[in-house]
Structure 1
Amino acid sequence: MAIARKELVDSETPGFYHCISRCVRRAFLCGDDPFTGNNCDHRKAWLEKRMLELAEIFAVQLYAYAIMDNHYHLVLYLDPKAPLNWSKEKVAESWLRAYPGKLDNLENRHLRELKKQAIMANDKKLKKYRKRLGSLSWFMARLNEPLAKNSNIEDNVKGRFWESRYQSIALLDETAVLSCMAYVDLNPVRAGVVQELEKSLHTSIKKRIDEERRLDVPIQPVAGNINGRPIQMKLNHYLQLVEWTGKAIVHPDKASIPPYLDSVFNRLNLQQDNWLTQIHRLGLNNRAIGSIEKLKQRASALKRKWIKGSSFSKLLYVSTSQS
């Protein structure tokens, strides 16, 4: 039975989500289009730039992303209530940044300020914009709609650009979040596009590797506008896990897990023997990912007997009752 979007995404409680958008057309929306011969790599750069910008506008922290030729993945943390505590000025400014246009031109700065002041003076609009700035659907719309419009103009076509509304998967515990981050960061490797993480263009793992930052501290978001729930795993341990997993995907005959990763698997309550199999299945039709206990709680909150993902959880987690 289908579950409504409003039930899949909790509009009251902060949480992590894995989001996926796919192109409707056979032609690729990014990269080299094998049917037209056109190269659309600039769309990947635009999409990456815009998702990082939007994470600074909406009540979001962005933890992982991968932009492929005909789809993209995000792992993000959403706090739907955070905008309730934002100042009127921050709400108005955020909303104007979410809809960039002619008012952002230097010659129109006075008109932009007038519009900003008008929003700040309108309590009804402020209430509406606070809700939207804490909405996953509005975040995804501001990411997808401009790309669809611009790409249709470039391709001289009309009609739908995205396959459907984006897919969202709730990530119910830290193990689910980190596993899904690894799944997303390894997309180009799993697809056979690259064999080395350093060559995974337009991904969060590439951004993390390129940026100079401390490795012995907990993982931080690559972009974000809120103080979200911290992830306790240290960045160097995560990079070690992703690097080894990538090598094991490329060279499955050398896939024995090195001893230095034992503590990582133990801490995350992951089944080592099933890790490589499950890392290929994290994006397959699950409505939520988490321990069995977390899935039961989720099903109860939705007033359902069960929620899809239990069989996957039993293979991913060592103890299915741990969070």
Structure 2
Amino acid sequence: MAIKRSDLIDSQNAGYYHLISRCVRRAFLCGVDDETGISYEHRRAWIEHRILQLATIFSIEVYSYAVMHNHYHLVIYSDPLGPCQWSDLEVAERWLQLFPGKLDNPQFKLQRELRLQAIANDETLLAEYRQRLGSISWLMRCINEPIAKRSNQEDFVKGHFWESRFTSQALLDESAALTCMAYVDLNPIRAGITDKLEESDYTSIQSRVCSMTEETLNQVVESLAGKVRQRTMVMPLKDYIELVEWTGQSIIHPDKATIPTHLKPIFQRLNINQDNWLNQVNHYGRNYYRAVGPLHLIQSFADKLKSKWVKGVSSIRHLYLSTT
């Protein structure tokens, strides 16, 4: 049964979320259409660029993404009340970046400044825009609408391009977020598109691997775009990349799936059962539904939904060393 988005996404507290949006048309969102031979690969760059661009406008941080042939995944940290800390002018400026219209043309510089001041002096508009700039639903709308219009124009068609309802999954602690990040980053490998992280096009792991330096390897995992507040993961970037690399190779070669000794302490720190890690990441999409996290947080999530049960509890018991 469908549940209201307002119940699935906390509008008062910051947290991690896994978001998925799927294309509805027979033709692929990206890739090559087998029937026509037309390539739509360039659309993947559109989506990747749009995601990273909006992270600088909305109150979010992007931790992981994968743009596949007919859908995309996002792992974000969202602070819905973050815009309340922004000045009136900052809210107005971000809104005009989001919907510039013709005002992004340098010849309309004066008109843009007048519009900026008009928004900054309108308390009703400011309240509405603060709410929207902290909203995940508005984020997904602003990713999808321009891509749909651009793709429809390119295909000379009208109508829906995306499913009307995107999928959202609450990630209730950093261990859940890191598990989901690994699942998202390994989408191209699980799909058999490539067997190398650096060749996993239009993914966050490719971006991390290709831009890493000796300095960044020694830092903890940080967001790829956006800055809600001073926030980092507990895991060093080097450890995360090695863990994803090993997990990907183990998916390709399951007969060689022995966890390297130097990676084992990672699981202890994250309270994750290393014996079930590979199965949980490989079958993440089937194992979990609306929320992932320790059982006590899952129970609180279910209570908020007025539900006695949330799908994935048995998988939660296998994922965590301790679920309390």
With structure 2 as the length reference, what TM-score do the two structures score?
A: 0.96
Q: 1:117: how far off?
A: 1.2
Which runs of 5 or more residues in structure 2 are unaligned?
A: none
Which runs of 5 or more residues in structure 1 are unaligned?
A: none
Aligned length: 321
Mean CA deviation greater in 149-158 or 13-22: 149-158
Aligned equivalent of 1:14: 14
CA contact 1:27–1:35 (8 Å) conserved in 2: no
Q: Deviations over 1:13-35 (max 9, x none)?
A: 10000000111012101121223
Distance 1:183 1:165 in 2: 22
Q: How does 1:114-193 map to 2 (within 5 A)?
A: 114-193=114-193
Distance 2:53 2:164 in 1: 23
CA contact 1:78–1:134 (8 Å) conserved in 2: yes
How large is the Cα RMSD of the aligned pairs? 1.3
Counterpart check, 1:307 vs 2:315 = no
Aligned residue identity for 1:275: W
Q: Deviations over 1:16-63 (max 9, x none)?
A: 000001110121011212232211121111111111010010000000
Q: Percent identity?
A: 53
Q: 1:228: how far off?
A: 5.4
CA contact 2:251–2:282 (8 Å) conserved in 1: no
Q: 1:232: how far off?
A: 1.1
Counterpart check, 1:48 vs 2:58 = no
CA contact 2:222–2:231 (8 Å) conserved in 1: no
Counterpart check, 1:316 vs 2:310 = no
Q: 1:157: how far off?
A: 1.4
Aligned residue identity for 1:245: T
Q: Deviations over 1:220-258 (max 9, x none)?
A: 100013115431111111111001001111111111111
Q: How does 1:250-289 map to 2 (within 5 A)?
A: 250-284=252-286, 286-289=289-292
Distance 1:41 1:103 in 2: 31
Aligned residue identity for 1:315: H
Q: Deviations over 1:136-166 (max 9, x none)?
A: 0001100001101110111111111112311
Change (3 A) 1:60 1:228: farther
Q: Deviations over 1:49-84 (max 9, x none)?
A: 111010010000000000011110000000000101
Q: Deviations over 1:152-195 (max 9, x none)?
A: 11111111111231100000011100000000111100100010
Aligned equivalent of 1:243: 245
| Runs (4+) off by over 6 Å | none
Q: Deviations over 1:296-318 (max 9, x none)?
A: 12112333222222122112112
Q: 1:110: how far off?
A: 1.9
Aligned equivalent of 1:81: 81
